[in-house]
Amino acid sequence: MRAVGVIVEYNPFHNGHAFHLQASREAAQADVVIAVMSGNFLQRGEPALVSKWQRTKMAILNGVDIVFELPYRYATQNAETFANGAVSILAAAGCQYLCFGSESGEIEAFQQTIHFLESQQDSHEKNIKHFMGSGVSYPKALALSYKQLSNSENYLDLSRPNNILGFHYIKAIHEQRSQITPLTVARKIADYHDEHFASETIASATSIRKALFSDINRPSEINQYVPEATRQLLHEYLNQHGLYHRWENYWPFLQLRLLHSSPEELKEIYEAEEGLENRLQHAATEAGSFQEFMERIKTKRYTWTRLQRLCVHILTNSKKIDMEGSKRAGYLRLLGMSERGQEYLNKMKKEFALPLVAKLSSFKDEEVNLDLKAARVYAMGVPGPAKKILMEQEFKQPPIIIKK
């Protein structure tokens, strides 16, 4: 069976994702679509709007056949580590293709960029260090270096979020010597970070979340931008848990961690750099909300996303020694599947390059411990009895099977 992989967060699943899924299936002429999906905390350093289990249901009801979890160690990292972890899972699961959305929409531009930078590796790394030394963030330094080296107006725009991810997906395929063939489709209308609705049917996940948070009692505002299954599952989650997850739900816990940790303890946290611990603790004593806290610690050198990821690691007490390790995942955590996905697993699982994990209680791994810790912290953002239910779900929930 021919399988195409997609790397996703579905926060939440919307019409743009439905377009990407269909385009991916068609481009690869695939029998099954396999998604590697971030767990409860995401690449931009945010808690997911709803749990990974609810987003798994969204994915399968909207056309995905198999959902594997991208472990915390990779899901909450920079683009390069995020891409390496996700690509290693797709390769282990037998995917022949990886299809991603991009602002470019031309796979040749990505391939040319990879080959060009490989030929200019020393100069490229020197340029990145130079630009970062001037105080800009790593993504900005990467884009500036490439623009300077290419000396052309026709370069791939590496300042755009999906182009950056696509670049790292293909780079990971090359470095892992994977047989996966990369494909890309152009994003439609809405940009990744758009905060406002840009058309009648397509909107970014950012704008959809903003609309949901602005008036949680009026979800109809997003109806035209998400499939019916997403609408129903969002409504169901709100009724069961009483909220959609956002950073403000976790601010008291983050503030407590910051104020009760010594500077030495904070230095051990992953992505903490020398001197940041003092800035964080000072801001935590004065800020009355997560938004205010972030505004106080933001600098030109550290992007908002980078600082949010650091906050996630502080919240989960994820240390450098925990997070630094292999660039490749160590297992395939199965979250859910369709009937077609179940057929694929039955035929192919013996050929998988990594162990298939359906029940956590029967599998031990240090990466799993990070996932468990993250799931428990995520549940702390939910009030009342729903907290215990969400916390226990990590062990009790079997892979979701949806028959159509």
Is 13 known to sit in a ligand binding site? yes
Q: Are 64 and 13 in contact (CB under 8 A)?
A: no
Is 162 known to sit in a ligand binding site? yes
Q: What is the 3-state secondary structure (H, E, C) of the chain?
A: CCEEEEEECCCCCCHHHHHHHHHHHHHHCCCEEEEEEECCECCCCCECCCCHHHHHHHHHHCCCCEEEEECHHHHCCCHHHHHHHHHHHHHHCCCCEEEEEECCCCHHHHHHHHHHHHHCHHHHHHHHHHHHHCCCCHHHHHHHHHHHHHCCCCCCCCCCHHHHHHHHHHHHHHHCCCCCEEEEEECCCCCCCCCCCCCCCCCCHHHHHHHHHHCCCCHHHHHHHCCHHHHHHHHHHHHHHCCCCCHHHCHHHHHHHHHHCCHHHHHCECCCCCCHHHHHHHHHHHCCCHHHHHHHHCCCCCCHHHHHHHHHHHHHCCEHHHHCCCCCCCCEEEEEEEHHHHHHHHHHHHHCCCCEECCHHHCCCHHHHHHHHHHHHHHCCCCCCHHHHHHHHHHHCCCEEECC
Is 14 known to sit in a ligand binding site? yes
Is 394 known to sit in a ligand binding site? no
- The type of residue at 299 is T
Q: What is the CA radius of gyration of the chain?
A: 21
Is 60 known to sit in a ligand binding site? no
Is 231 known to sit in a ligand binding site? no
Is 9 known to sit in a ligand binding site? yes
Is 187 known to sit in a ligand binding site? yes
Is 10 known to sit in a ligand binding site? yes
Is 381 known to sit in a ligand binding site? no
Is 115 known to sit in a ligand binding site? no
Is 174 known to sit in a ligand binding site? no
Q: How far is Cα 358 from Cα 335, in angstroms, rounded to an integer?
A: 7
Is 8 known to sit in a ligand binding site? yes
Question: Which positions make up the binding site for ATP?
Answer: 7-20, 101, 162, 187
Question: Which positions make up the binding site?
Answer: 7-20, 101, 162, 187
